Amino acid sequence: MKVGFIGTGLMGLPMAQRLIEAELAVVVYNRTTEKLRGLRGAAMIASSPAEVLQVSDCVILMLTDADAIASVLLSESSRCHLQGKTIIQMGTIAPTESRHLGEQVFSFGGEYLEAPVLGSIPEAKSGNLIVMVGGTPEQCDRWRFLLQNFGPDPKLIGPVGTAAAAKLALNQLIASLTTAFALSLGFVQQQGVKVEDFMQILRHSALYAPTFDKKLQRMLQRDYSNPNFPTKHLLKDTKLFLAEARSMGLNVSSLEGIRQILEIAVSRGLTDSDYSALFDAVNPPHPPQ
């Protein structure tokens, strides 16, 4: 069996490498060919998405958004190769977008399931991502052996759309928790509270989340380089959540404020920086005197 992999960015590259390490026959494609450098000699490099679909039995997608997926999967040159192929969509997109993609793939004779992941580059490299599956129980069982290369226990959430919803809900928490922590951290700093005293109290309280310590040093040093998850992607996911939640009648006032903070971070040139850069948006660095 040949496994296609389209999208070898920050997360996609180590995920594709996991499949190669499992001695699977892997065919890869990325629009930016430079991002395939680490896979040359270990995987077949395709010249187009259509070629990946043509030679693969199953194709995994790890792309930025639904528009990118549609341009790759549903183009005139690609869609004719969907007949009899299984598509596993592993990026973060909206539930409605995922269901629509599933319908499109099905209309061209293919099979579709979603399997978004929670975790970042270290977990992708070690195979310890949390894999959420949206599809049928039969699909989850059939492709479990493949998904286990990314995470030890792929969990079936429900039909297509439910795993995408769970992933967006989790990323909403990433945005909200990180913003709340950045605000409290900036506040105690400016009030003269020792950061370690504050953190000791926080760590022993029910308010603590491990992500606070993961981002603490980045915020204190204002070092947002070498991102595991860039600001631009968290902003994209926040906008997706807002659109879906509004359509359901949920009050999203608090998240709308966080969207604005993320956009301020982007306006400061922190688009490709680690999302902890939102600390700069809530607690701007003071200009030198």
CATH of the domain at 201: 1.10.1040.10
Tell whether 233 and 174 lie within a shared domain.
yes
- Write down the pTM of the prediction: 0.94
Last residue of a domain, one of 136, 158, 180: 158
Q: Is residue 289 one of the residues assigned to a domain?
A: no
Residue carrying the six token digits 């759309």:
161
Domain count, the chain: 2
Q: What SS3 state is found at 215?
A: helix
**Domain hosting residue 98, numbered range:** 2-158
Q: What is the pLDDT of residue 289?
A: 47
**CA separation for the pair 274, 277 (Å, rounded):** 6
Q: Is residue 288 one of the residues assigned to a domain?
A: no
Mean pLDDT calculated for residue range 202-231: 97
Mean pLDDT calculated for residue range 237-251: 98
By CB neighbour count within 10 A (0-12 exposed, 13-18 middle, 19+ buried), where does 136 fall? middle
Tell whether 184 and 147 lie within a shared domain.
no
Q: Is residue 13 one of the residues assigned to a domain?
A: yes
Tell whether 19 and 149 lie within a shared domain.
yes
CATH of the domain at 106: 3.40.50.720
The pLDDT confidence band at residue 40, using thresholds 50, 70 and 90, is: confident
| Residue of 91, 258, 92, 271 whose CA lies nearest to 173 | 258
Q: What is the pLDDT of residues 58-75, one digit of tens each?
A: 999 999 999 999 999 999
Tell whether 212 and 259 lie within a shared domain.
yes
Q: What is the pLDDT of residues 272-285, one digit of tens each?
A: 999 999 999 999 98
Tell whether 153 and 172 lie within a shared domain.
no
Mean pLDDT calculated for residue range 127-132: 98
Q: What is the pLDDT of residues 188-198, one digit of tens each?
A: 999 999 999 99
Tell whether 150 and 13 lie within a shared domain.
yes
Q: Is residue 287 one of the residues assigned to a domain?
A: no
Tell whether 240 and 210 lie within a shared domain.
yes
Give 2's contacts (C-beta < 8 A, 6+ positions apart). 25, 26, 27, 44, 55, 56, 57
| Residue of 137, 176, 179 whose CA lies nearest to 159 | 137
Tell whether 141 and 7 lie within a shared domain.
yes
